[in-house]
Amino acid sequence: MCRLTSRTLLHFAPMILGESQKKYLRGRGHRLKPLIVVGGAGLSESVLAEFESTLAHHELIKIRVRAADRAARDEIIQSLCANHAAILIQRVGNVALLYRANPEKKPEKRVRIPSS
């Protein structure tokens, strides 16, 4: 499993987004393709490591979860959000849009969200 320390999680504490901010992120995420695909095997070490590095680099990503049923998809998505301090922006079918700000990125490279 991907190792996150309490010090790391302090930098990535989940922020609370307003509805207008989520709407803005949904618009930005509309043109994105899923970067992470979680297959039938579920969340393996390699998937978690790739998820962490991709989320840190892009901040706003789409993931595709190919699970057998809706409950399993929801559980995988909630697990990713909870364990990696990400925010679920939107979920349509087996595709989820997730956001986590990365304060370690240069300011000009960050996703800019309008204030609510």
| Residue boundaries of the structural domains of the chain | 19-101
Give me the mean pLDDT over the 89-109 stretch.
93
Confidence (pLDDT) at 47: 93
What distance in Å separates the CA atoms of residue 6 and residue 91, rounded to the nearest whole number?
A: 28
Residue 5 has pLDDT above 80, yes or no: no
Confidence (pLDDT) at 9: 44
- According to CATH, the topology of domain 19-101 is Translation Initiation Factor IF3 (3.30.110)
Residue of higher predicted confidence among 51 and 1: 51
Q: Where are the alpha helices (DSSP H) in 36-90?
A: 45-58, 70-84
Q: Residue 75 — very low, low, confident or very high, per pLDDT cuts 50/70/90?
A: very high
Closest by CA to 85, choosing from 1, 9, 26, is 9
Give me the mean pLDDT over the 61-87 stretch.
93
User: Rounded to the nearest 5 degrees, what angle is found at the Cα of 47, between the Cα atoms of 58 and 2?
Assistant: 85
